[in-house]
């Protein structure tokens, strides 16, 4: 006699038309799952006479209750990026303080996340992986996005006011007397890259300074793009007297190219960055920059997602943190 097939959690998920993750959350009574979805899953469990494995259930409950997933889009040099490492430090410290495990996902945005053992997900920006955020939300997974103001999706976020950061950089250079001002942008597919450029450009125009196309270079946060930008700017017949780089890594590379070409910083060219990377302090010229609180953003993200996971926070949390100007040695009034 052929033995009947044992009903699995996959069968329940298919009957209820939800993901396996959602079924697991319902079984473990995660409070953020929509009541209608809970009812549908419970009906499927009853109809199929599904009995969860007690051992597996305890493991799932423990993993889901004590683990946070950190999702970051993969990009070249991610583990050498001050931005990524500083976020990881903040999130890691937050998890350690709250006695939470940390699950790390590097994503290209195309594949579904295997997030069944994470009680909540923290997304670093949304770059070609919006569908992953939407899928997690539809599963009832507590979610929070950092470094991105999400205006058209019901999700919590913590972000930096990047428009204001670009404005601060422009205002400072203008206050020093600069009128020939250039910029190398960050990746313009990112909200941060677009916003920093927007704030910078609008502030120049507001102060009657024409933003010439030759003073614009589309970068991607990498040192390679900054080196190319510096070569372009320094070869112009009428080169800029100041450059705003959308990241400290790019600003430091521009300073390196300047020194290689006998151009003095800040006597011949002023350079301002964005991030407040400690590496900017120890170069030949200490870098003036716009500080964004990456570590604090990561740490606070863990505190918020954990409260959402525990059902202590039911509404959306939407915070925008202020950037600050850090004045060092790389900017001065123009010499000509």
- Domain positions in the chain are 9-52, 63-161+294-323, 162-291
Q: What is the percentage of the chain residues whose pLDDT exceeds 70?
A: 93
The pLDDT of residue 209 is above 60: yes
Q: Which residue has the higher pLDDT, 236 or 105?
A: 236
The pLDDT of residue 56 is above 50: no
pTM of the model: 0.79
Here the tokens at position 329 are 């040695």
| Mean pLDDT along residues 169-189 | 96
Stretch among 13-22, 105-114, 143-152, 198-207 having the lowest mean pLDDT? 105-114
Whether 141 and 21 have beta carbons less than 8 Å apart is answered as: yes
Stretch among 107-111, 148-152, 164-168, 178-182 having the lowest mean pLDDT? 107-111
State the pLDDT at residue 1: 41
Q: Which residue has the higher pLDDT, 273 or 31?
A: 273
Q: Per-residue confidence at 198, pLDDT binned at 50, 70, 90?
A: very high
Distance CA 115, CA 122 (A): 11
State the pLDDT at residue 296: 93
Half-sphere exposure of 278 toward its Cβ, with a 13 Å CA cutoff?
4
State the pLDDT at residue 112: 75
State the pLDDT at residue 28: 77
Transcribe 221-261 into DSSP letters.
SSHHHHHHHHHHHHTSSS--SEEEESSHHHHHHHHHHHHHT
Half-sphere exposure of 197 toward its Cβ, with a 13 Å CA cutoff?
21
Distance CA 267, CA 133 (A): 47
Which CATH class name applies to 63-161+294-323? alpha beta
State the pLDDT at residue 207: 97
Distance CA 174, CA 176 (A): 5
| Mean pLDDT along residues 15-43 | 86
Question: What is the CATH architecture of 162-291?
Answer: 3-Layer(aba) Sandwich (3.40)
Q: Per-residue confidence at 136, pLDDT binned at 50, 70, 90?
A: confident
State the pLDDT at residue 196: 97
CATH domain 9-52 topology = 434 Repressor (Amino-terminal Domain) (1.10.260)
The pLDDT of residue 8 is above 50: yes
The pLDDT of residue 327 is above 80: yes
Assess whether the region 63-161+294-323 and the region 162-291 belong to the same CATH fold.
yes
State the pLDDT at residue 3: 44
Q: What is the percentage of the chain residues whose pLDDT exceeds 90?
A: 62
Q: Per-residue confidence at 51, pLDDT binned at 50, 70, 90?
A: confident
58: Cβ contacts below 8 Å, ≥ 6 apart: none
DSSP 272: E
Provide the mean pLDDT of the chain: 89
The pLDDT of residue 248 is above 50: yes
242-245, strands of its sheet edge to edge: 216-217, 181-184, 242-245, 270-275, 288-291, 324-326
């Amino acid at each position: 006699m052929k033995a009947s097939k044992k009903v699995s959690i996959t069968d329940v998920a298919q009957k209820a038309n939800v993901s396996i993750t959602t079924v697991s959350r319902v079984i473990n009574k995660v409070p953020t799952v929509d009541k209608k979805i809970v009812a549908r899953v419970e009906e499927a469990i009853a109809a199929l006479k599904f009995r969860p494995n007690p051992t597996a259930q305890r493991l799932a409950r423990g993993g889901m209750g004590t683990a946070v997933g950190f999702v970051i889009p993969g990009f070249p040099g991610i583990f050498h990026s001050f931005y990524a490492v500083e976020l990881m430090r903040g999130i890691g410290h937050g998890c350690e303080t709250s006695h939470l495990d940390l699950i790390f996902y590097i994503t290209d945005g195309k594949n579904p996340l295997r997030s069944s053992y994470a009680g909540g997900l923290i997304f670093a920006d949304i770059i070609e992986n919006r569908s992953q955020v939407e899928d997690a939300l539809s599963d009832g997974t507590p979610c929070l996005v950092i470094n991105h103001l999400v205006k058209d999706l019901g999700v919590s976020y913590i972000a930096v006011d990047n428009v204001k950061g670009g404005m601060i950089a422009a205002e400072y250079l203008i206050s020093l007397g600069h009128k020939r001002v250039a910029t190398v942008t960050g990746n313009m597919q990112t909200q941060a890259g677009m916003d920093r450029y927007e704030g910078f450009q609008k502030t120049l125009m507001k102060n009657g300074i024409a933003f010439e196309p030759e003073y614009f270079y589309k970068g991607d946060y990498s040192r390679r793009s900054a080196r190319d930008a510096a070569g372009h700017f320094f070869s112009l017949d009428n080169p800029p007297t100041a450059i705003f780089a959308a990241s400290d890594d790019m600003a430091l590379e521009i300073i390196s190219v300047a020194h290689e070409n006998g151009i003095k910083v800040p006597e011949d060219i002023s350079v301002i960055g964005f991030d407040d990377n400690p590496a900017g302090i120890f170069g030949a010229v200490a870098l003036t920059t716009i500080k964004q609180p990456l570590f604090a953003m990561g740490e606070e993200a863990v505190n918020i997602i954990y409260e959402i996971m525990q059902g202590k926070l039911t509404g959306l949390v939407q915070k925008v943190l202020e950037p600050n100007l850090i004045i060092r040695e790389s900017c001065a009034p123009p010499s000509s």
